[in-house]
Structure 1
């Protein structure tokens, strides 16, 4: 065979995993440590992920805290959180930064639902691109004499089934995320 079905599966799963990561960064009105992951802080002359300068925790459903390890970093962490487009207003108390998570307005909820839809569509496109590449490899394999027409049809059907399964998973993830975003 001139292609590897496991590689196709891995690449499609990679698109789904990337979508999960994107969705973690979307605010839903409930506090989650993943909300702060995309934020980077100017630290020691370079930019570092926020989780490398402090410990993020969720003591209450609407409150995040960041326990900064180096007291001199507290203002930089506070500034990075404030300047992120998450709409959060951190309050520093020594090396502990409290971040209340406000309710989302209905307009903001709609915006976030649209963003989630865009992320999901990008994942679907990525999955379809993997399908296209794999089917091209299968057809090239048939042309090169690696297998016959019947085998090619069978392999294309397997690739299509894999594509349908992964796109369905993306659709389920989007429905769950939209429900999560729109729940007040």
Structure 2
């Protein structure tokens, strides 16, 4: 247990040691970790699930929007084929779904995935979806500003708890691609 590198939290732990704060797919990904940084660089903090949404969370825990990254699940369609992807953008921006994401994925149409689909396909709670532990076939698109951040707060797969990670951890996830101006 130690102090968190950003925000005001009672304590931070290596996420792999706190399976109670992460969704099952996240715990499995942490147990099988092959990231660019040691698994101990992925920290978990215990938070109020009623404050999981970005605005309320930031105010309660002194996390600025540029220190928090949102994971947006996108459904991209070309003909009958649907490709799901995750987009990581700073909370101070929004993902360029209809422009950059659509083009990068080679889709005719891209939109936010319906909430029920996102929850079912990820095994995570809405409001806590995170790129760690997503299905292996999903591209993870990371805004360059997220990749360059020393630390960002992201979901833990649950509404209770958050992860604090160096941006380079997200850029180094399997299937990750760093894109300039993904967040606008």
Same fold (TM over 0.5): no
TM-score if structure 1 supplies the norm length? 0.24
The structure whose residues are more often helix, as a share, is: 1
Larger radius of gyration: 1
With the length of structure 2 as denominator, give the TM-score of the two structures.
Answer: 0.24
